[in-house]
């Protein structure tokens, strides 16, 4: 399954699950829940961190953190 | 609760929700800012009086601005403060009323924390901020329905324009008189029925959810006894309670309920134009070239302000204190008291007040950058560069403003959310070459290198000066890199953070930030600085009395001998005695006792070095670098008969000033900002060692 860091900016996906339980709690309370639509809005100039759009706002995270979020791409 | 008592109101909300703006609108200048005991989390308490509409009676209200958080579950020291105050009814700040601030343009996420707080069953009110933003976007919120579904009062506000503040105050009175506990927004009792019931009994709690929060986080509550904690621990184990899984289940359930609520209460336009301005600005401000370019330009502006613009007000302060000390010195009878007040206290106070312009300028910029939402973009574009050094994007402004003055720079490190990154930043900031090192460098470079000497087309003096700025920066990031491996942190560092939409800064917030930072520095650090100033004054103006008398007698009949008397007295003073006694330790660095005395007195502030040297060498006019330079240059080494200040000595001395922690004000502010003497002491020791080793190596290699 793809993780969030595999997506290119603009490609839409739906969150499936998380691999880091601790981080998942933090992400979930900020609105990143399984079933939510998510996409990368932009990457930082050096390619890392990334800014994602989730439930109507912008959230930035490091690539290593995005790797813990599994997603299903929307074609 | 009756209205004759003081009402305690807590402001709760997400970061960037407009919580602080509301706090400022409610309390104005009537604020007290400090630390929560034992930790460095800002504690902001403010007061106001609410007049009741019916009786015109005034009700005393105390507001506390709780650290912003996205949920009650604590993940950092700041969030733990919010959790404990809200969930532990025995906490001294436990509120009678909660005002929950929800960002209307981010309603879904805001409601996660909001509904958690509602489920605690303390009387509460929902204040909807940023209403102007969503109205402009064409979003409609059915306030009455929202209020009805949540079971609490909902008040739309615009804190910047002071809209809705009056309604909010009246709502406080209303819920104190009459609050009906709404039904649970999310039912969690079935996640751990026995454990929740038991905690409710033990702590006499009505709310299921409060008991559930305690079941998940009892370890972090300082108000619980060890006995209670071990009881809960045993019970949780016995019942196989899994706090993380329960927390995840709760969050999922909560968001499901919120989705339903939002579907019912909020109407979104078909075509949303929202955030388009933020997107356009981000295209520029996080652009690979433009983004860094603009950031460098802003840094340059900040540096200019702290370095050059603040010179004018600093000069005014300096002159004012010079006049004050002259006036007091002339009006009081000569003697010890006169000297204590003029050279000890007034000089010490002057040394504190002089920093106000720099602090004010830096915090004006920082408040604007924070309030507009740009600061999170700074972290975004610089994070990768700094991550390897144990720092984050948030460290860059403290680090670079350290090149002007370490004091405001250390204070600004408070915006770094991660504890470890904050400590590392504070520990290395004083290595940056600050403005106070300039006079020392200028004097010593001018002695070491002739003014017209060039390397290629560059002036060698200028190059050397630049080299010393570089040494400061390189050593700062190297030490940061080393500390990354030494420091252990319990707190897990995340970079998951919101990038808020851009806003026009709220000038009242900017003004209050400046005011508050200046106040903290004057009061908290000022006490320590005045105390050390007095100690230094005693050391340099007193000595074994027979020596002082001899000097007085010696010059009894000579006129205009003040300069010589001052010089000889300093030599005979306790500072002089210490300076002489440390000579064996510092002679491997090429220093003699005269430099030893200057090292001791310049602990007050680095630039004092030049003044002390001019006193010791009896140069009448301390402001004249040229005359000090000539005097120093003509000083001969008694052993060799050659000039004492060889390039090796000058370089060694410069390196010493580059690394040594020669600034009591910085130590005082590090103590204030880390809340313990441990960090300033470690900082003093490691910097002194670094200074000694660097000077030792330089002198031994060159001479």
Q: Choose the closest CB to A49 out of B106, B275, B495.
A: B495
- Residue B559: both structure tokens together: 């006129």
DSSP string covering B199-250: HHHHHT---HHHHHHHHHHGGG-TTS-HHHHHHHHHHHHHTT--HHHHHHHH
Q: Are residues B605 and B540 in the same domain?
A: yes
In this predicted structure, the answer to whether residue B622 has a pLDDT above a threshold of 60 is no
Residues in B touching A60 (Cβ below 8 Å): 376, 379-380, 495-499
B634 against B331, higher pLDDT: B331
Which is nearest to B694 in space by CA: B653, B647, B650? B653
The CA-to-CA distance between both ends of chain A, in Å, stands at 15
Which of A21, A44, A47 is facing B286, going by the closest CB pair?
A44
pLDDT at B364: 92
Q: Quote the tokens at residue B5.
A: 């008592």
Same domain? For B589 and B659 the reply is yes
On chain A, the residues whose CB falls within 8 A of the CB of B287 are: 45
List the single residue in A with minimal CA-CA distance to B74. A26
Q: How are strands ordered across the β-sheet holding B124-129?
A: B31-35, B42-51, B58-65, B7-13, B97-103, B124-129, B153-156
Host domain of residue B675: 528-702
Asked, for residue B634, whether it belongs to a domain, the answer is yes
CATH number at residue B35: 3.40.50.300
Which residue in this structure is represented by tokens 């996660």? B112
Of B33-37, B282-286, B621-625, give the range with the top mean pLDDT.
Answer: B282-286
- Reduced to 3 DSSP states, what percent helix, strand and coil does chain A have, rounded to the nearest 5? 20, 40, 35
What's the gap in Å between the CA of B168 and the closest CA on chain A? 27
Q: What is the pLDDT of residue B271?
A: 67
d(CA B697, CA B348): 35
Q: Are B215 and B191 in contact (CB under 8 A)?
A: no
Q: How confident is the model at residue B107 (pLDDT cuts 50, 70, 90)?
A: very high
Residues B171 and B193 in one domain: no
Classify strands B124-129 and B97-103 as parallel, antiparallel or unpaired. Answer: parallel
Do B200 and B113 lie in a common domain? no
Residues of B whose CB is below 8 A from A24: 248
| Strand locations in B132-201 (E) | 140-141, 153-156
Q: What's the pLDDT at B623?
A: 55
B440: enclosing H helix or E strand: helix B437-448
Q: Please list every residue in chain A whose beta carbon sits closer than 8 Å to the beta carbon of residue B141.
A: none
Q: Is A31 on the interface with B (CB under 8 A)?
A: yes
Do residue B537 and residue B644 come from a single domain?
A: yes
Angle B603-B608-B611 from CA coordinates, rounded to 5°:
145
| Position A33 pLDDT exceeds 90 | yes
In a domain, B42, yes or no: yes
CA-CA distance, B347 to B451, in Å (whole number)?
A: 34
Cβ-based neighbour number of residue B372 at 10 Å: 18
Would residue B253 count as lying in a domain? Answer: yes
Share of chain B above pLDDT 90, in %: 41
Summarize pLDDT for B546-567 with one digit per residue, the tens.
777 777 777 777 777 777 777 7
Do residue B56 and residue B200 come from a single domain? no
**Strand arrangement, sheet containing A69-73:** A2-3, A69-73, A12-18, A37-43, A50-54, A57-61, B497-499
Q: Identify the domain boundary among B177, B210, B228.
A: B177
Per-residue pLDDT band for B624 (boundaries 50, 70, 90) equals low
- Are B252 and A57 inside 8 Å of each other by CB? no
Is the separation of the CB atoms in B41 and B67 below 8 Å?
yes
Residues B605 and B578 in one domain: yes
- Asked if residue B202 and residue B78 are part of one domain, the reply reads no
Q: How far apart are the first and last CA of chain B?
A: 79
This complex has an ipTM of: 0.95
The structure tokens listed for B350 are 């002057």
CA–CA dist B415, B429 (Å, integer): 14
Looking at the fold, whether B129 and B258 belong to one and the same domain comes out as no
Q: How distant is the Cα of A60 from the closest Cα of chain B, in angstroms?
A: 5
What is the number of domains present in chain B?
3
Q: Which residues contact B603 (CB under 8 A, 6 or more apart)?
A: B532, B536, B662, B663, B664
Q: Does domain A2-73 have CATH number 2.30.30.90?
A: yes
Last residue of a domain, one of B111, B144, B177: B177
In this structure, is residue B696 part of a structural domain? yes
Shared-domain flag, residues B578 and B665: yes
The whole-number pLDDT of residue B461 equals 83
The residue in chain A having the minimum alpha-carbon distance to the alpha carbon of residue B253 is A33
> What's the pLDDT at B274?
56
Facing residue for A46 by CB, picked from B112, B379, B384: B384
A14: confidence class by pLDDT, cuts 50, 70, 90:
very high
DSSP B252-297: HHHHHHHHHHHHHHEE--SS--TTHHHHHHHHHHT-TTHHHHHHHH
- Asked, for residue B96, whether it belongs to a domain, the answer is yes
Element (H, E) at B13: strand B7-13
Tell whether B94 is covered by a domain.
Answer: yes
Domain closes at, from B225, B251, B267: B267
Please give the structure tokens belonging to residue B94: 């436990």
Q: Is-contact B404 B303, C-beta < 8 A?
A: yes
Asked whether residue B698 is assigned to any structural domain, the reply reads yes
Give pLDDT, residue B618: 64
pLDDT at residue B2 in the model: 65
Any idea of the CA torsion for B447, B448, B450, B455, to the nearest 10 degrees?
-150
Between CA B286 and CA B292 the distance in angstroms is 8
A contacts of B73 (beta carbons < 8 Å): 25, 29
Residue B445 banded pLDDT, cuts 50, 70, 90: confident
Whether the CB-CB separation of B632 and B617 falls below 8 Å is answered with: yes
Q: Which of B348, B314, B345, B319 is closest to B332 using CA atoms?
A: B345
Q: Do B200 and B132 sit in the same domain of this protein?
A: no
B163 secondary structure, DSSP code: B
Domain-embedded: residue B74: yes
Q: Report the candidate in A56, A31, A61, A32 with the shortest Cα–Cα distance to residue A44.
A: A61
Asked if A61 has any chain B CB less than 8 Å from its own CB, the reply is yes
């Amino acid at each position: 399954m793809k993780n969030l860091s595999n997506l290119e900016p603009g490609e839409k996906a739906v969150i499936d699950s998380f691999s880091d339980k601790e981080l998942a709690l933090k992400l979930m309370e900020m609105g990143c829940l399984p079933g939510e639509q998510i996409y990368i809005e932009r990457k930082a100039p050096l390619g890392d961190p990334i800014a994602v759009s989730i439930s109507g706002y912008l959230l930035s995270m490091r690539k290593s953190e995005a790797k813990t979020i599994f997603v299903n791409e929307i074609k | 609760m009756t209205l004759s008592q003081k009402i305690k109101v807590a402001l709760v909300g997400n970061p960037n929700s407009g919580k602080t703006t509301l706090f400022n609108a409610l309390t104005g200048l009537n604020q007290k800012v400090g630390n929560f005991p034992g930790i460095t989390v800002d504690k902001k308490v403010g007061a106001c009086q609410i007049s009741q509409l019916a009786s015109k009676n005034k009700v005393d209200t105390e507001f506390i601005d709780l650290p912003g958080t996205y949920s009650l579950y604590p993940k950092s020291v700041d969030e733990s403060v919010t959790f404990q105050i809200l969930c532990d009814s025995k906490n001294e700040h436990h509120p009678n009323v909660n005002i929950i601030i929800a960002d209307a343009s981010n309603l879904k996420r805001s409601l996660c924390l909001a509904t958690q707080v509602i489920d605690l069953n303390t009387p509460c009110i929902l204040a909807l901020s940023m209403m102007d933003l969503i109205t402009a976007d064409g979003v409609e919120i059915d306030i009455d329905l929202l209020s009805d579904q949540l079971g609490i009062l909902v008040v739309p506000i615009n804190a910047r324009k002071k809209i809705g503040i009056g309604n909010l105050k009246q709502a406080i009175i209303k819920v104190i008189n009459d609050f009906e506990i709404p039904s649970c927004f999310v039912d969690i009792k079935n996640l751990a029925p026995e454990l929740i019931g038991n905690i409710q009994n033990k702590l006499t709690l009505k709310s299921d959810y409060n008991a559930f929060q305690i079941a998940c986080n009892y370890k972090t509550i300082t108000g619980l006894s060890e006995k209670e904690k071990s009881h809960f621990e045993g019970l949780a184990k016995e019942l196989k309670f899994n706090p993380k899984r329960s927390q995840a289940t709760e969050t999922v359930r909560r968001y499901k309920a919120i989705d339903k609520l939002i579907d019912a209460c909020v109407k979104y336009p078909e075509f949303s134009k929202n955030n388009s301005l933020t997107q356009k600005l981000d295209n520029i401000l996080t652009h690979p070239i433009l983004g860094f370019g603009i950031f460098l330009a802003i840094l340059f502006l900040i540096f200019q302000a702290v370095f050059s613009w603040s010179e004018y007000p600093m000069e005014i302060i300096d002159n004012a204190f010079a006049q004050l000390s002259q006036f007091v010195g002339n009006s009081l009878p000569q003697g010890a008291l006169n000297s204590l007040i003029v050279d000890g206290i007034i000089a010490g106070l002057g040394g504190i007040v002089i920093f106000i312009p720099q602090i004010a300028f830096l915090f004006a910029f920082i408040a604007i950058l924070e309030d507009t939402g740009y600061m999170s973009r700074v972290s975004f574009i610089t994070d990768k560069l700094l991550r390897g050094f144990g720092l984050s994007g948030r460290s860059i402004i403290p680090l670079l403003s350290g090149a002007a003055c370490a004091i405001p720079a250390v204070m600004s490190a408070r915006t770094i959310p991660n504890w470890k990154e904050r400590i590392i930043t504070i520990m290395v900031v004083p290595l940056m070459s600050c403005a106070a090192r300039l006079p020392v460098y200028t004097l010593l470079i001018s002695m070491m290198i002739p003014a017209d000497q060039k390397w290629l087309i560059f002036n060698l003096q200028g190059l050397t000066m630049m080299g010393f700025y570089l040494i400061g920066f390189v050593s700062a990031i190297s030490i940061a890199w080393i500390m990354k491996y030494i420091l252990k942190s319990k707190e897990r560092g995340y970079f998951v953070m919101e990038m808020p939409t851009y806003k026009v800064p709220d000038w009242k917030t900017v003004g209050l930030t400046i005011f508050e930072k200046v106040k903290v520095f004057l009061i908290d650090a000022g006490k320590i600085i005045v105390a050390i100033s007095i100690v230094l004054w005693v050391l340099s103006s007193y000595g074994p009395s027979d020596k002082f008398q001899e000097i007085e007698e010696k010059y009894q009949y000579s006129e205009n001998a003040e300069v010589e008397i001052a010089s000889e007295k300093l030599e005979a003073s306790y500072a002089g005695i210490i300076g002489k006694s440390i000579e064996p330790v510092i002679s491997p660095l090429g220093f003699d006792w005269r430099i030893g005395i200057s090292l001791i007195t310049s602990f007050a502030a680095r630039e004092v070095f030049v003044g002390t040297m001019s006193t010791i060498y009896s140069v009448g006019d301390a402001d004249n670098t040229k005359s000090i330079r000539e005097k120093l240059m003509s000083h001969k080494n008694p052993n060799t008969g050659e000039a004492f200040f060889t390039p090796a000595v000058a370089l060694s001395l410069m390196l010493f000033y580059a690394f040594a922690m020669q600034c009591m004000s910085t130590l005082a502010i590090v103590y204030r900002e880390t809340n313990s003497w441990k960090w300033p002491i470690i900082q003093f020791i490691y910097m002194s060692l670094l200074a000694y080793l660097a000077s030792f190596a330089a002198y031994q290699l060159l001479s």
